[in-house]
Amino acid sequence: MTATPPQPPLDPTLERALKAIGACLEAVEAHVPKPAPPPSGGWLAEIPKWAPVITPIVVAVLGALLAYYLTGYFQQTLDLRKLELEVQKFALEQRKTDLSGIGQMRDLIAQLYEEGITPQQAQAIALSLAAFGDLAAPPLIHAIQTGSPNRRTGAEAGLAAAALAAPDGVCGALSQVLDNRTALFSWQTHESAIRLLGQLGCQNQRLSVEAFGRLLGGGVAAYRPTVHEDGVPEVDDVIVRRLLDEQQRTLQRMSAAAQLARQGTE
């Protein structure tokens, strides 16, 4: 193998020149500013450093919020359940009261239909029934329908008293008597109903009173098919005229009551 011959030594003058050039380059490099290091990721890069501190705080806050929400939810559910139980309890108590009231009404109605009842007794029983408000209207109207003068007088007083507590219900029940065209009620019941509508000032039933007047305006031929005739006297011109007079008085009472109501609002 052939050996590489050694390089000849540099000329001393050339060597000194090269060293001088190197020194100049080092001096220039020392005065040139170095570029800024590239960004390391900003605040996102700092997250891993703070993760051990931040994580427990975030978990605690989220846990507190979840506990607050669940507590409110379960409390609301509990309150709704309590309210539902209270409503059911109230409905049960109301049902017991209604059943008790029905029993009392049944006893009073039985007393009202006793034979030989006096006007004073009939009125006292009817006034007791009036305490049940509009619930008393149907049995009291039926008591008028039976034809007993004493029972009729007491029932009219009871209806007037019941209207003090439940005017809409009682007035509505009386207007149904006039609106009926199936011969369900006698002319005496019609007479009581139309008189009470006027005395009680049942303004919402004016149309029923007017329609009944038009029916009576057709005479016996028009009115008689709508009347339950189970006794005497039978419907004739005198009875129709009597009912028409009562109908006119009722309209006058309603008009007067309406006028007073308007004056009270002025």
In this predicted structure, what is the pLDDT of residue 62?
72
Does 153 share its domain with 174? no
Does 139 share its domain with 174? no
Positions in the chain whose pLDDT score sits under 70: 1-54, 58, 66, 69-70, 72-74, 78-80, 83, 87-101, 231-232, 266
Q: Which amino acid is at 239?
A: I
pLDDT in tens, 31-63: 556 655 555 555 556 666 666 666 777 677 777
CB 176 within 8 A of CB 205: no
Does 15 fall in a domain? no
ω before 233 within 30° of 0 (cis)?
yes
The domain containing residue 125 runs over which residues? 71-165
Does 19 fall in a domain? no
Six token digits for residue 254: 């309603």
Does 144 share its domain with 173? no
Domain end marker among 145, 165, 185: 165
Does 252 fall in a domain? yes
CB 197 within 8 A of CB 205: yes
Does 180 share its domain with 266? yes
Q: Which amino acid is at 200?
A: L
In this predicted structure, what is the pLDDT of residue 12?
65
Does 79 share its domain with 161? yes
pLDDT in tens, 236-259: 999 999 999 999 999 999 999 888
Domain end marker among 165, 188, 221: 165
Does 187 share its domain with 158? no
In this predicted structure, what is the pLDDT of residue 265?
74
Q: Distance (Å, rounded) from C-alpha 25 to C-alpha 46?
A: 40
Domain end marker among 165, 180, 211: 165
Does 232 fall in a domain? yes
Does 231 share its domain with 264? yes
State how many domains the chain has: 2
Does 180 share its domain with 98? no
Does 85 share its domain with 173? no
In this predicted structure, what is the pLDDT of residue 14?
57
